[in-house]
Every structure is written in structure tokens, then in C-alpha cells.
Amino acid sequence: MRQAYTLVRENLGVAAKHNKRAYDLRVHAQTYKVGQWVRYFHPRKMANRQDKWRRNFNGPFLVVKVIGPVNVIIQRSKRAHPFCVHVDKLKPYIHGFLKLTRRPWVRHRAMHRPWARPCDLAQLREAKMRNNRQRVSVKHSR
């Protein structure tokens, strides 16, 4: 009986090593950067409803912070509450037919921001200051 158990244990060990090798060949680590748009896997179960037609991914969400290799903090909008999720529950948001018009609200040194040109930023600041001056003058005139 002991011989049978040792034989089974050895065969299970060999099978485990084989399965690990096959799994590691197919698995690719997904890394996300701050400022990247992602979709979040959040399936909801409802009574008397078929899961076949459900949308399991919500989004787009913005990666606000990367906490180690497997956890990230995501946020749906600037005012929404950020929360921590595992990278296995995320997939990159691909702009297909609908172009994403929202810009990331997170500032990060390594983030690529093609829309933030120095001349544009100076013009935006001037426009904001003009707008604020007009608001102040309207409030005082009333």
C-alpha cells in the first residue's frame, strides 16, 4: 500500500510540473501605467435573469496609482471614489468607433500628454483668468 502511495505522489509531482510549465508558456503578465484607461470586470448576478447577455466589464476607468505588480487603484471620474483592484480583473480600454474625449485628470511625470502643449496651456490660463475677472465684475455690479 505504501508503494502505491509513493508511486502516486511521484506521478502527481511530475504532472504538476508539466502543467505549470504549460501554464507559464501561455500566461503573460499585464502591466498598467498611471493615466491609462481600462475596463473593470464586475459581473452582477440578478434573480431570474440570464447571464448570457450581461455586460461583465464596466468602464472606462482611469488608472490613478499602481500599487506593486498586481494591484492598481482605478477611478471612474474625477469626483468618483477611487478603489483598489487586482490586475486580473482589468483589461485595456480600446477606443474603437467611439473616441474617448475625456482626458486623464491624474498628473504623472512619465505620462504622455500630447494635448498639453506650452502655448495651449498659456492660452488656457489666460482664458481662465479673463473668465474669472468677468465673473468677479458681474458679482460686484449686482
Segments making up each domain of the chain, as ranges: 29-111, 115-142
Backbone angles phi, psi at 63, to 5 degrees: -75, 115
Read off the C-alpha cell for 89: 480583473
Q: How far apart are CA 11 and CA 4, in angstroms?
A: 11
Q: What is the pTM of this model?
A: 0.58
**The Cα angle at residue 73 between residues 103 and 43, in degrees rounded to 5:** 95
Question: pLDDT of 22-76, one tens digit each?
Answer: 988 888 878 999 999 999 999 888 888 888 888 899 889 999 999 988 899 999 9
The residue type at 135 = R
Fold of 29-111: SH3 type barrels. (2.30.30)
